[in-house]
């Protein structure tokens, strides 16, 4: 056998280095401190994944924990706007510094690096995946809980996050429509293939609460999320209604002012959640 060049792409041998499972996990910045990491995922866009991510960070922060949000949805970043953060992220010789919100939640998003936050991100998948990885390896996080707002679907950027970050678990966000079972199944299968524990499912836009009589109005019909969760033996963590007040505060960049607690039991579960690691 010829001398090994450590370039497996040009080699036909079945050596131990080639056949042994390889970990692609990356170490965080040496100056960083990170506790538990939870990814918030969805099988499709438009289900309120970023809204759920933001609310989990806010509620966990109110419990006294230091929290942060890594915005991995590079082509559709909405986290900074929800928190009313528009300044540029800075850095020093140690790495990049996350931007802090009004209450002290740490954020990192591509929008905090662009000259104009309305500029589109016209990058190909590998470049986007590299940026997301850098948000983990280069940023000086100091958090007890880091929430990763994942891009929708199961593409290469989501794969980069699953492979590079040592996620303790994922929360799947879905809406009540009929196709929810297929959407949830895609997210579940990807998490299982990457050996990431699933905390459970959050159903968003479950109903509209009538302001006059308090009746729950299922605008999208009876939710199918419970059946989908049961089919995969994972818990339905919460049902979030459509709330105009939450939408308005998000548009104003004041999501930290929202007082709804539909996800209150979820943060309690996350505090106690033990990963397989």
133-152 tens-digit pLDDT: 899 999 999 999 999 998 87
Confidence at 127, pLDDT banded by 50, 70, 90: confident
Q: Once rounded to an integer, what is the mean pLDDT over residues 244-270?
A: 92
Q: Once rounded to an integer, what is the mean pLDDT over residues 84-113?
A: 92
- Mean pLDDT score of the chain: 84
Provide the pLDDT for residue 189: 85
Confidence at 255, pLDDT banded by 50, 70, 90: very high
The better pLDDT of the pair 248, 154 is held by 248
pLDDT of residue 92 exceeding 80: yes
Pairing verdict, β 95-97 and 90-92:
antiparallel
For 15-57, write each residue's pLDDT tens digit: 654 444 466 788 999 999 999 999 999 877 778 899 999 999 9
Minimal CA–CA distance to 229: which of 256, 202, 259, 260? 202
| Residue 142 exposed, middle or buried by CB count within 10 Å (0-12, 13-18, 19+) | middle
pLDDT of residue 178 exceeding 60: no
The better pLDDT of the pair 153, 84 is held by 84
């Amino acid at each position: 056998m010829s001398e090994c060049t450590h370039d497996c792409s040009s080699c036909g041998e079945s050596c131990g280095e080639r056949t042994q499972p390889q970990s692609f996990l990356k170490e965080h910045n040496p100056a960083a401190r990170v506790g538990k990491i939870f990814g918030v995922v969805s099988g499709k866009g438009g289900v309120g994944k970023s809204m759920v991510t933001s609310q989990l960070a806010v509620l966990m922060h109110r419990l006294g924990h230091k929290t942060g949000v890594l915005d991995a949805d590079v082509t559709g970043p909405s986290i900074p706007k929800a928190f009313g953060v528009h300044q540029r992220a800075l850095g020093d010789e140690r790495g990049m510094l996350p931007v802090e919100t009004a209450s002290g939640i740490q954020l990192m998003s591509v929008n905090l690096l662009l000259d104009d936050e309305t500029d589109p991100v016209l990058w190909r998948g590998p470049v986007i995946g590299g940026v997301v990885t850098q948000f983990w390896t280069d940023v000086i996080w100091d958090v007890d809980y880091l929430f990763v707002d994942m891009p929708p679907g199961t593409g290469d950027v989501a794969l980069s996050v699953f492979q590079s970050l040592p996620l303790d678990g994922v929360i799947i966000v879905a809406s009540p429509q009929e196709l929810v079972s297929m959407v949830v199944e895609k997210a579940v299968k990807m998490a299982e293939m990457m050996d990431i524990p699933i905390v459970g499912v959050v159903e968003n836009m479950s109903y509209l609460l009538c302001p006059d009589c308090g009746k729950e109005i299922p605008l999208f019909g009876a939710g199918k999320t419970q059946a989908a969760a049961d089919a995969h033996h994972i818990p339905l963590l919460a049902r979030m209604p459509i709330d105009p007040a939450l939408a308005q505060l998000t548009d104003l960049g004041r999501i930290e002012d929202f007082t709804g607690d539909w996800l209150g039991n979820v943060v309690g579960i996350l505090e106690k959640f033990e990963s397989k690691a």
